[in-house]
Structure 1
Amino acid sequence: MKKFLYSFCLFLLLGAGHSALAQTSTEAFAQYQAKDYKASGQLYDQFLKTGKGTSTDYYNAACSWALAGDKNKAFTYLNQAVAKGWENKNHLQKDTDLTSLHADKRWTKLVQDLEAKLIKLEANYNKPLKAQLEKIYETDQHYRGMLDSVQKHHGMESAQWKDTWDKIEAQDKVNQQQLIEIIEKHGWPGKSLVGQQASQAAFLVIQHSDRELMEKYLPLLREAAAKGEASKSSLALMEDRVRMNRGLPQLYGSQLQMNPETKKYELYKVEDEANLDKRRADMGLGPISEYMKLFNK
């Protein structure tokens, strides 16, 4: 399963569109989390019939059906994911959700087809830069990926929690220095230069930096998103973070705060809340109600 990216606030991989469709996608992921993989797969079936799904939605549907034991549906959705632009071969091969498919002869062909597609796609990439940014992506997410487990087993007041955050902050400083050097030399590393995941690494590192760096590089991200070189949803998160740092209401509802009494996440103040879902849809984000529901689950 392609899980959420840890960007302090979780970045939900929901596409824009009618709220009922987004809700179906959210419910499918919720059923996956509950380990009811058949129900998850059926909800993805319902959602993907509309033609609104992204490559990630098709990939996640394949994971649910693989875990539910339906290899035919799993391979159908994986092939559709690749056709719609799925590029992350490393994740595909390491994802334990798909282990049951490895002995099937269709698996080898799937990987070969993806490799052939990537060779063509990557012909004009800056490969050394791509590799560097993908390593940065991994290190950015490594310790953040441990936070759920640490919180569950030790709590947010524990020495283990503090130690994990100390490691995150130390790695962030290393990543930020590397990224500054990359941007100063190459500009914002867009999708056509390094591919989607490597480009996403640039966003994550800046999103996890201090106010000064975010404000410095936000105009470059705006320009990249306008050209299709970065995702609008990433831009929405950074716009909100910068506004929150300035004490201003956010525009897209990406930033949440923990209520110390209820232990639930609540929305940081929003400008023109009546039109929030419209702005979110324009940036490729699902309805705020589903975002909040899944986040607090």
Structure 2
Amino acid sequence: MSPQPQLPLLARDLITRVQEAAEHWSCRIRHGVDVVEIGQFRHVDHANASFLQLVLAEHGWPGHRLVGVDGCRAAWCLALHADRFDLQRAAVRLLHRAVAEGDAPGWQEVHLQDRALIMGAQAQEWGTQYRITPTGVQRCSVREPAGLDARRASVGLPPAATAMAALLDRLAVSRQAADPTGEVDALLPLAEAA
């Protein structure tokens, strides 16, 4: 049994924000949305990013000790979906410290680091970020692709092909439940574990 988080109210707020945002995140992935909906979704992400920025400034990375396992994962989700390069870079630095102290899992750091690299128009390191395009799911560019599986293994991630297959399975189930045609019509970032 994990210990009680030091700030259970903050944990609850982080988790609630992710639960409320999860529907629009999956809606953007499952099927196309109109311009008004995209604006509403971006507003939610912006509000969550601003909230997370305040949390990071006051507490550093909200790790397991501060907000529990679920609260830590919720903070990671908010950072991943913030799509603000400045916030993501700051979050990666704080998350790196939390991982080094055993207060957060390393897989969260590598996913967030990859997302920040993609947002900064650079090739990702670990190959965790994808784009859904009209022609299907594509992994975002990767630095030194020949060494990708070795880098992934060094941080406990499965081989790239295994991760891609799992992602495609997850998307097929999600799309089939929402849209039996299975059409893909959105260009947006997607993470393996988000």
TM over 0.5: yes
Whether 2:67 is the aligned partner of 1:194: answer: yes
User: Distance in 2 between the 1:290 and 1:247 partners?
Assistant: 25
Q: Specify the alignment match of 1:275 in structure 2.
A: 147
- TM-score (structure 2 length as normaliser): 0.76
Give the CA deviation at 1:148: 4.8
- Contact 1:147–1:164 (8 Å) recurs in 2: no
| Structure having greater relative contact order (Cα 8 Å, sep ≥ 6) | 2
Q: Specify the alignment match of 1:256 in structure 2.
A: 130
Alignment CA distance shift 1:293-1:218 (3 Å): same
User: Distance in 2 between the 1:146 and 1:269 partners?
Assistant: 25
Q: What is the letter of the counterpart of residue 232 of structure 1?
A: G
Query: Where does 1:61-100 land on structure 2 (aligned, <5 Å)?
Result: none
- Contact 1:253–1:267 (8 Å) recurs in 2: yes
**Residues 207-237 of structure 1: CA distance to partner in whole angstroms, max 9, x if unpaired?**
2221121122221111112222222111111
Give the CA deviation at 1:174: 1.6
User: Distance in 1 between the 2:133 and 2:20 partners?
Assistant: 30
User: Distance in 2 between the 1:247 and 1:148 partners?
Assistant: 22
Name which of 107, 116, 136 aligns with 1:233.
Answer: 107
Q: Specify the alignment match of 1:184 in structure 2.
A: 57
Query: Where does 1:1-297 land on structure 2 (aligned, <5 Å)?
Result: 117=1, 121-122=3-4, 125-149=6-30, 151=31, 156=32, 159=34, 162-209=35-82, 210-260=84-134, 263-297=135-169
Partner secondary structure for residue 125 of structure 1: coil
**Residues 29-87 of structure 1: CA distance to partner in whole angstroms, max 9, x if unpaired?**
xxxxxxxxxxxxxxxxxxxxxxxxxxxxxxxxxxxxxxxxxxxxxxxxxxxxxxxxxxx
- Contact 2:89–2:113 (8 Å) recurs in 1: no
**Residues 104-143 of structure 1: CA distance to partner in whole angstroms, max 9, x if unpaired?**
xxxxxxxxxxxxx46xx21x53222222222122123132
Kindly tell me the number of residue pairs found equivalent between the two proteins. 168
Q: What is the letter of the counterpart of residue 283 of structure 1?
A: V
- Contact 2:56–2:91 (8 Å) recurs in 1: no
Partner secondary structure for residue 270 of structure 1: coil
User: Distance in 2 between the 1:271 and 1:145 partners?
Assistant: 28
Q: Specify the alignment match of 1:103 in structure 2.
A: none
User: Distance in 2 between the 1:217 and 1:182 partners?
Assistant: 10
Q: What is the letter of the counterpart of residue 138 of structure 1?
A: Q
User: Distance in 1 between the 2:165 and 2:8 partners?
Assistant: 40
Give the CA deviation at 1:198: 0.6
Q: CA RMSD in A?
A: 2.1
- Contact 1:137–1:198 (8 Å) recurs in 2: no
- Contact 2:24–2:41 (8 Å) recurs in 1: yes
Give the CA deviation at 1:289: 0.5
Partner secondary structure for residue 228 of structure 1: coil
Give 5+ residue unaligned stretches, structure 2.
170-194
User: Distance in 2 between the 1:264 and 1:218 partners?
Assistant: 29
Partner secondary structure for residue 281 of structure 1: helix
